[in-house]
Amino acid sequence: MNTFSFNADTYDYWLVFQAIQRFYPLGLAITTDNIGLYMDYPGIKALEKKVVAEFHGDKYDVWLQPTQAWQSALDAQFLCTTNGQAPGFSGYFELEKHHTEDRIRVKQLHFAVSTLGPFFTLFGQEIEGVPRRTVVKDRKGAPLYLAGGAQTGQAVVSPWGEYEPPFLQLEDLVRTQFPEFRFVPYAMYSQVIEGLHVRYRDDWVNTVYHGLFNEVFDFEAFTVVGDADYGQQEWSKVRKK
């Protein structure tokens, strides 16, 4: 079901849609019968070349280089989540981690920068849960099955609460590194584009986020907090005048 929409009288998100339209054959699903047709689409060929050029050679080190300074500025460990198939350079900074035998609590600050156009976004991710553990064993002590592992989480999509200072700091760092790039708000990147199929995931429902960045943001697993429209002023038509 398509949910892509915006107020065209006030905002101009066509750059986002056109980037996705350029690289993906909208309406053509990836199936056993037509995978060859999908891969023959000129946009997919261009996307594949772009991803290989950016993330599978020496240029990848150029992408990684600023994260060292960002890590120092945020005083938080950096972990890269770029998967080499999706069109986004991405990673997160571990703001907090508590791991005991009975409890896990993690706070992360994620960023994603697209190679398909001048787009980036940020979001916090907080996870609490019980570590997975063996609760049933056979007579020889071998585990039969695992229990536990239940988790709850929330995604912070704007400078909000404890995330506000590091969120704003990382946003400033990304903008300094990529001055022509614009922040894509959650209200936009969470929208589903009917007929969008990305090669790196099997799900038939794909959002703007999946098209531009990757699949790190789990839209089903997390409660969203913060201002979903944060960053929208950058897309205002008034801004261009």
Domain positions in the chain: 14-240
Asked if 211 and 198 touch (Cβ cutoff 8 Å), the reply is yes
How high is the pLDDT of residue 144? Answer: 44
Give the pLDDT confidence of 134-193 residue by residue, as tens digits: 444 455 555 444 445 556 689 999 999 999 999 999 999 999 999 999 999 999 999 999
Residue located via tokens 């936009």: 188
Task: Work out the burial of residue 235: count CB atoms within 10 Å of its CB; fewer than 13 is exposed, 13-18 middle, 19 or more buried.
Answer: buried
Asked if 226 and 164 touch (Cβ cutoff 8 Å), the reply is no
Instruction: Rounding to the nearest 10 degrees, give the CA dihedral for residues 165, 166, 169, 170.
Output: -150
Which one is predicted more confidently, 189 or 83?
Answer: 189
> Taking the model in full, what pTM does it have?
0.89
Q: Are strands 77-80 and 151-156 parallel, antiparallel or unpaired?
A: unpaired
How high is the pLDDT of residue 240? Answer: 52
- For residues 117-144, give the mean pLDDT: 72
